[in-house]
């Protein structure tokens, strides 16, 4: 669908006005600009920072968690622990119906892009249909595709606002925030998984490797496909 020029103008104005503002300010303005927002979280290695920050800005923030049914058991336990610790009252767990397309859970071996599309992209698109926009934990340092990430975007295909309040945060900023607020850590981080996705497509990272080297190791893939770059769906690589 063509972009709403009025919405695009508003988003551009928000990016200009909040260019040097803190993440909490970005979230406050986001909820004013589009009150019907959902925070999409993978409950991965760094997710708790944004979840905590959002809960301090809006106690009843809506959270969406995609259970791909291929996640580590540790991630599922961590999701429940974090939700309880932060008092998150509105956590929607969504799952794809994979019976017809991937009944034996081997699609990731044959076509990882198709697996991500089935288990993440499609189910999230459906879940977000009733929202004006969504909040992500993406950061500029995470990959080349995110280097110019703004705080606010408009998705070309849906017309939804996309908010990236931590876009300018460094890895050190995230770790400092988690330490200062005594937030629970994902148990797999201490075991050598600094970036955590689905179990079949995530490996340990050796000392000196890029933290995301364990995601789709050996494949030309950086994003799972739920995010957009310059208004276009990225079908080649990780979640927040």
Catalytic residues, by residue number, are 224
Distances (CA, A) of 199 to 5, 41, 77, 218, 232: 41, 17, 14, 15, 27
In the numeric block, which tokens belong to residue 175? 């770790």
9: burial class by Cβ within 10 Å (0-12, 13-18, 19+)?
exposed
Contact between residue 30 and residue 37 where contact means Cβ atoms under 8 Å apart: yes
Q: Going by C-beta distance under 8 Å and a sequence separation of 6 or more, which residues neighbour residue 206?
A: 192, 213
* Cα dihedral sign, 28-34-36-41: negative
């Amino acid at each position: 669908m063509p972009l709403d020029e009025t919405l695009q103008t508003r988003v551009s104005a928000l990016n200009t006005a909040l260019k040097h503002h803190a993440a909490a300010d970005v979230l406050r303005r986001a909820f004013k600009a589009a009150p019907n927002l959902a925070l999409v979280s993978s409950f991965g290695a760094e997710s708790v920072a944004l979840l905590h920050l959002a809960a301090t800005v809006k106690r009843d923030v809506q959270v969406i968690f995609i259970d791909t049914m291929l996640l580590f058991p540790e991630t599922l336990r961590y999701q429940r622990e974090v939700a309880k610790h932060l008092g998150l009252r509105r956590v929607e767990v969504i799952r794809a119906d994979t019976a017809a397309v991937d009944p034996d859970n081997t699609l990731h071996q044959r076509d990882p892009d198709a697996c991500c599309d089935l288990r993440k992209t499609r189910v999230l698109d459906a879940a977000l249909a009733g929202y004006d926009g969504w909040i992500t934990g993406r950061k500029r340092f995470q990959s080349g595709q995110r280097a110019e990430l703004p705080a606010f975007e408009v998705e070309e295909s849906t017309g939804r606002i996309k908010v990236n309040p931590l876009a300018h945060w460094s890895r050190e900023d995230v770790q400092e925030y988690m330490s200062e607020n005594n937030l629970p850590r994902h148990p797999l981080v201490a075991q050598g998984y600094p970036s955590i996705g689905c179990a079949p497509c995530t490996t340990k990272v050796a000392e000196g490797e890029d933290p995301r080297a364990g995601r789709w190791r050996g494949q030309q893939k950086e994003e799972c496909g739920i995010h957009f770059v310059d208004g276009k769906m990225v079908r080649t690589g990780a979640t927040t």
